[in-house]
Amino acid sequence: MSDPDFLESGRRLFAGPCEFIWGASKIDGLPPASLPEIAVAGRSNVGKSSLINALTGRKTLARMSRTPGRTQELNFFELNGQLRLVDMPGWGYAAVGKEKVASWTELLRAYLRGRSVLLRVLVLIDGRHGLKPVDIEMLDLLDKSAASYEIVLTKKDEIKGSAAEQRLTDMRAALAKRPAAYPEVLFTSAHTSEGLPELRASIARLIAERQTSH
């Protein structure tokens, strides 16, 4: 398929029904691995809820992951019967205490290492700031887990053209040293929708590639 075809199949994928189906707080509590999965990670306030809502065209979807009790879970949303988006909300909630952070990290590690249907992790980074220490911790964990991941920058509307270019250049340079990172970086805005059709298309492409490799 060509790029315009993926733009169209990405649009259709995200225009379909989307619902919360499962929350898992333990590795033996995951849903059956029956559909491909794309996980979404990012520190709190990066714009993750806004991006998931903008991608799916729904206002309240990702609010689910913030309700008490769900911030330390992997939250599964099923899209059009074709894909599951897995929200990983646990980053950057220092307030939850050391013990919870440790068990949350354990859950993430186990999921990232052992999930055969996981196609890619989207790691959201605030486009205004670039990589912060908590982001670097996350990338280190992903590299160690050997889970394929891709950086998605957020809040592009807040950044002027040349600064946005520079941010992209810096991010690509930082990723060149990371073995599990996908080399392309998308710059998105949940407010203007910039970059969202391309992000949907890249997800549709991953699903299509998976289907042809099986």
How many helices and strands in the chain, by DSSP H and E? 6, 7
Burial of 92 (0-12, 13-18, 19+ CB in 10 A): middle
CB atoms within 10 A of CB 130: 14
Residue type, 152: V
Counting contacts by CB under 6 A, is residue 157 touching ligand GDP? Answer: yes
Question: In this structure, are residues 123 and 138 in contact, taking their beta carbons and an 8 Å threshold?
Answer: yes
Q: Which is nearer to ligand GDP, 9 or 189 (CB)?
A: 189
Q: Which is nearer to ligand GDP, 67 or 113 (CB)?
A: 67
Counting contacts by CB under 6 A, is residue 115 touching ligand GDP? Answer: no
Task: Give the nearest distance from C-beta 155 to ligand GDP in angstroms.
Answer: 4
d(CA 128, CA 54): 19
Q: Which residue has the tokens 């270019």?
A: 165
In the list 56, 71, 145, 189, the residue contacting ligand GDP (rule: CB under 6 A) is 189
In the list 56, 71, 75, 154, the residue contacting ligand GDP (rule: CB under 6 A) is 154
Counting contacts by CB under 6 A, is residue 8 touching ligand GDP? Answer: no
Burial of 176 (0-12, 13-18, 19+ CB in 10 A): exposed
Task: Give the nearest distance from C-beta 213 to ligand GDP in angstroms.
Answer: 32
Counting contacts by CB under 6 A, is residue 48 touching ligand GDP? Answer: yes
In the list 155, 185, 187, 201, the residue contacting ligand GDP (rule: CB under 6 A) is 155
Counting contacts by CB under 6 A, is residue 71 touching ligand GDP? Answer: no
Counting contacts by CB under 6 A, is residue 167 touching ligand GDP? Answer: no
